[in-house]
Amino acid sequence: MLDNNIKKHIESYVLDYNNFKKTKTSWKKPLVAFADANDPLFKELKKIISPSHCLPTELLSDAKSVIAYFIPFVESIPKSNIHGRNCSIEWSYAYIETNQLIIDLNKSLEKFFTEKGFSCKVTPPTHNFDEEKLISDWSHKHIAFIAGLGKFGVHHLLITKKGCCGRLGSIVTNAKLVPTKRPEKEFCLYKSKGICLECVKKCVNQSLKEQTYNRHKCYEMCLENDSLYSELGTTDICGKCSTIVPCSFNNPTK
Ligand code: SF4
Ligand code: SF4
């Protein structure tokens, strides 16, 4: 019952947001999944990402569950980002407005849980908004993987049932929720069938190769876009490798 109410709350909040806030960006129905806060994979993130990556219980001492969600962009936004080296202005607005959507959604979830007698700990949508080291050590895409929202692609993004063009968020709560079953099969065509690599072909700064990903070169490209759209706010993004590729809007292996 609580699980369904949380899903419905997130879905209706996201679907109403464009009308409510008169944003330039629109979003599709989000995906929501739950993880057990004591899932052993959380400890693995200290090895995979960094020893300082937080456990759910380091954010909320009596944590029982983690909620992860994926908010897909409407298709016109990735389509606007197909051409050229720099990201489109629509893609930039989508980044900024989705950050605000995630902040607002998380506030509404805090209220939702408080009213039901539970507590929760929300985390910011991006590292850029984070001033506390504790919270920056929280990778939404790895949390979403543990919660069963999808599988990683060659482009190092999470591919969900609704693709990879959108944004991820996650929060920790002391409410006990039924964990979502993680998918077993790969969602990336290259990982499952050895074909595709469209994301590698689309990379505009030679950051992404078949077997390697150069974070520094990728971030260099993101900073180029940030300076191009500096009047909009922080837009250190690119997204060309996720734009109109087989995994942009769905799981291409299904
Ligand atoms: S574009 Fe193709 S190879 Fe790249 S992540 Fe998506 S499915 Fe995998
Ligand atoms: S975000 Fe841009 S620079 Fe980074 S891997 Fe993707 S296409 Fe390349």
Q: How far away, in angstroms, is 215 Cα from ligand 2 center?
A: 9
- pLDDT of res. 127: 58
Residue type for position 51: P
- pLDDT of res. 136: 57
Mean pLDDT of the 76-97 span: 97
Nearest ligand, CA 220: 2
Q: How far away, in angstroms, is 179 Cα from ligand 1 center?
A: 27
List, for residues 110-162, the tens digit of each pLDDT value.
999 999 999 999 988 875 434 344 335 899 999 999 999 999 999 999 999 99
- Higher-confidence position of 50 and 132: 50
Q: Is 240 in the pocket of ligand 1 (CB under 6 A)?
A: no
- pLDDT of res. 117: 97
Nearest ligand, CA 164: 1
Q: Is 171 in the pocket of ligand 1 (CB under 6 A)?
A: no
**What proportion of the chain, given as a percentage, has pLDDT over 90?**
89
Domain definitions of the chain by residue range:
2-242
List, for residues 183-212, the tens digit of each pLDDT value.
999 999 999 999 999 999 999 999 999 999
What phi, psi does 167 have (nearest 5°)? Answer: -130, 155
What value does the mean pLDDT of the chain take? 94
